[in-house]
Amino acid sequence: MYKNLLKSLKKIIDDNGTDKITIFTENLKIDGRVFIAEGKCEECHDDFLPLENALVCRLEDYCTCDDNDCECHDYVCFRYDWLSVNISDITAFSIIQ
């Protein structure tokens, strides 16, 4: 599954000229840059997507809504230089400009 996802992501990244990604899991919103190792990757794990400069936000804390207004709060997020996301936990993703 990893190799198919990474191959698809690489094509989307090449077509759009950006490696920035937003990933949603059941409980998290993760922004970062996809790290694609060039050549063979003997140390890469098949079940994880590596990200650089990742910002991780718990959805429960990130957005608060009432009847007419919704706010999102970047200050409750955590930044990581490197982060590996379990592919099976990804519910949605988008390459962003």
pLDDT at site 34? 92
Q: How many domains does the chain have?
A: 1
Report the CATH number that the domain containing residue 91 is assigned in CATH.
Answer: 2.30.30.100
Which is more confident, 19 or 72?
A: 19
Q: Is residue 16 part of a domain?
A: yes
Is residue 23 predicted with pLDDT exceeding 80?
yes
Please report, rounded to a whole number, the percentage of residues in the chain having pLDDT higher than 90.
42
Residue 39 maps to a domain: no
Flag whether 61 is in a domain. yes
Residue 82 has pLDDT above 80, yes or no: yes
Domain housing 22: 2-34+47-95
Q: 56 is written with which tokens? A: 């991780």
The angle subtended at Cα 93 by Cα 27 and Cα 83, nearest 5°, is 65
pLDDT digits (tens, 9 = 90+) for 44-73: 667 888 999 999 988 877 777 776 777 776
